[in-house]
Structure 1
C-alpha cells in the first residue's frame, strides 16, 4: 500500500460525541495533495458526531484504491489534482462506482473551469478549500450535511403520466438545479432554442465561485447567461438565462421579475428553492412554469406543489440522472409534477409550451 494512503479506520479508535437519534453516520474519503488542507478538514469532520474519515489520498491512483476498499459515503476531492484531475476522477467514479462527490477549489484558482466541469459531470457541490481551522470547521459541517442528504433513501419509481393537454404560455420559466443537477440542466439548454419567455435558473453554486460560474456557463450554452442581481423587482428579459447562486433569498414579483434580498442568513424552515417557487405561485399563478431537476434533498418539491395547485405547468426530471436525487421523486409522490421526463424530453415540452405547434388546417391548394 502506498505511503500516501492513510489509515482506513483510524477514526474507529477515537472517542466521538454521541450520535443524535435519527442522524446517520457517514464515512468520508479526502483526496487532496496538500497535507495541511487534509488535516484541517479531518479535524473539522472528526469533531462532528457520527462523521469519520475512512481514508486520505494525495492523488487519483490512491483515491481509486480507497474507493474500492473503504466504500466511502462521500468523496471530498480537490478539483485540480496533479496528474489525473478531479474532473477526470469524477467522470471515472460515476462510471465505475457512483459515489457522492464534493469538489474543492481555491478561491483564487486560475482555472475554475475544471471545477465547474466536475459539477457538470456529476459532482454534487463545489466548496472553497479551507484556509484556516475556523473555515475548516464551517466546511466540515457543510460536507457532512451533504453526505447525509445524499445517503437518504432513494425515491421509489412511480408511473410517469403523459404530458397534459392544452398548454398555457408562461410569463416566466424557473429552473431549479440544486446539488448534483447541473449536468441535466445544461443538457436541457443544449436542446432548448431561445424562448420568448424569460428563464430563471436557481442553483447551488457557492457565492464565492458564482461570478466565474456565470461567465463559464454563458460561454457554453446557446442562450448565454447573466447573474440575476435585480433587487427592484422589474421584469426579467428573455434571451440569456438569469442565474441565482446558492442560498439566495429571492422572490418572484407580479411583473415576472425577481427580487433579491441581501443581508439575511436564511428564510427559516422553508428552503430558498421552495420560497422562490411559492412566491411565483402567489404572483403569477398559471402564467408560469417550473422545472425541478434531480438534486439531493427535497428543496423545491413543496414549491412545485404550490405552483401545480394554481394551474402552473410543473415539470420534473424523473428518473433523475443523479443517482442520489430525491426532490423529483418526492414531487411525483405528492402530485406536484404534472409531467416528468429526461432533460431532452423536458426541453421538448418547454419548446411546445412557449411556441405551441401550428394546428391550423393547411391552406387549400389551387382549384383544378
Structure 2
C-alpha cells in the first residue's frame, strides 16, 4: 500500500528553495493533536502581518497530506504528536523532503529528551508548548525569522575541492561551533574523533539559554563521557573528558591559555550591544576572535553548517592568526548558510564532510601523541 507520506516524498523537490523577497509573509503549519493548541497558534499567527496562512494538522498523516497539497514555509510540530511522534516525523521530513521544523515541547524530562533528539535530527529550534510562550511576540518573530531565512537562501553552489591543511602545532582546545540546525553534525564529530579524549572540547550552541540546563542534562545522559556547562565565572581551566557546553548568547571569550589550560569567561560588564541575531549566534565571532588574539596556534575550531553565517568572520580571524579553522561542507543541515559563506571569504583551512573532518582531527590527535603534547 502506498501511503500519503510515500506520495509526497516521492515528488521531486529542491533541498534549498530559491530566494524570496525579504519581508514576504510566511505560511505556517501547526501540527498538534490538541485542538485548543492548534486554535491558539492559528489565532496568534492570523493576527500577525508576517503570516499569510496558518494550516493545521492533527497527526502525522495530516502533516504528510498537507505537505502533498500545500507548501508551508515552516512547521510547528509537537514533540509528543499522536501516532508517529515528533522525532519520527522530523526524521522522515528532513531525510526525504526538508522543511524548517520548530519543535513544541512540554515541560518534562521525556519530552525535552525527544525535542533535543529532534534538534539532532534536523529541527531548527524549540519553543515551549505553553499558552504564554506560543502567544508571545518573541515566538512569532522567531518562527517568522527562521522561515524567511530559509526562503531567502540561494541554491547551493558547488562545493570546492577538499582542502587538507592540518599542520602540526600543540592543540589545547577544540571548539565545535554548532549553529542553528547543526547539532547533529557537531555531535557526530565529537563522538567519532579521538582528539576529544585528550583535550578539552567546547560545544558552542545557538540554543536558547532557558533550555541550556535541560540540554546539558540530556547530553550528560546521552554521551559516554558526559557533559557539563563551561565555567565562565570562576576562571577555572577547561578539562578534557566531559563535553564542555556554552551558549553563544553568553558571548564567551578565551581569556588565557597556558600550562594550566584554556580559560573561558563572559564579556566583562560594560556598554556592550545586545546580540544582533535572535539566537545570539554572533557570540561565535566573539569567542573565535578572542581565541585568535590570545592563543591562535593552540586552538582548533570546526564550523558546522548552520542556518546563520555568524561565526564565519571570527573563524577567518582565527585562520589568519595561525589557528586551525575547519568547515563542514557539504553540510548535513539542508538549510546551511555558514559553510558557503565561509567558502566565499576563504575563512578556513579545510572544507570537508563530517567523516573527513573526523579523519583530520584524528591526525591531529596522532600528532599530539607523537609529540607528547
Following the alignment from structure 1 to structure 2, what is the Cα–Cα distance between the partners of residues 173 and 213? 20
What TM-score, normalized to structure 2? Answer: 0.84
Q: Does the CA contact (< 8 Å) of 1:176 and 1:202 recur in 2?
A: yes
Of stretches 269-278 and 291-300 in structure 1, the one that deviates more from structure 2 is 269-278
Flag the 1:303–1:288 CA change in 2: closer, same or farther, 3 A: same
Unaligned runs of 5+ residues in structure 2 are 1-20
Unaligned runs of 5+ residues in structure 1 are 1-20, 361-368
Task: Give the secondary-structure state (helix, strand or coil) at the position aligned to 2:339.
Answer: helix
Q: Does the CA contact (< 8 Å) of 1:41 and 1:137 recur in 2?
A: no
Following the alignment from structure 1 to structure 2, what is the Cα–Cα distance between the partners of residues 134 and 171? 43
Note the aligned Cα RMSD (angstroms): 2.5
Flag the 1:198–1:36 CA change in 2: closer, same or farther, 3 A: same
Q: Report what 2:263 is aligned to.
A: 257
Q: Report what 2:223 is aligned to.
A: 221
Q: Report what 1:131 is aligned to.
A: 131
Q: Does the CA contact (< 8 Å) of 2:163 and 2:352 recur in 1?
A: no
How many residue pairs were aligned?
Answer: 341
Q: Does the CA contact (< 8 Å) of 2:176 and 2:203 recur in 1?
A: yes
Task: Give the secondary-structure state (helix, strand or coil) at the position aligned to 2:319.
Answer: helix
Higher helix proportion = 2
Is the aligned partner of 1:319 residue 2:327? Answer: no
Flag the 1:237–1:325 CA change in 2: closer, same or farther, 3 A: same
Structure 1 position 260, deviation (Å): 2.8
What TM-score, normalized to structure 1? Answer: 0.85
Task: Give the secondary-structure state (helix, strand or coil) at the position aligned to 1:151.
Answer: helix
Structure 1 position 262, deviation (Å): 9.3
Structure 1 position 312, deviation (Å): 0.6
Following the alignment from structure 2 to structure 1, what is the Cα–Cα distance between the partners of residues 78 and 268? 30
Q: Does the CA contact (< 8 Å) of 2:308 and 2:338 recur in 1?
A: yes
Structure 1 position 210, deviation (Å): 1.9
Q: Does the CA contact (< 8 Å) of 2:160 and 2:351 recur in 1?
A: no
- Residue 301 of structure 2, aligned match among 290, 302, 305: 290
Q: Report what 2:274 is aligned to.
A: 266
Moved over 6 A (4+): 262-265, 357-360
Structure 1 position 41, deviation (Å): 2.7
Q: Report what 2:38 is aligned to.
A: 38
Is the aligned partner of 1:191 residue 2:192? Answer: yes
Flag the 1:110–1:158 CA change in 2: closer, same or farther, 3 A: closer
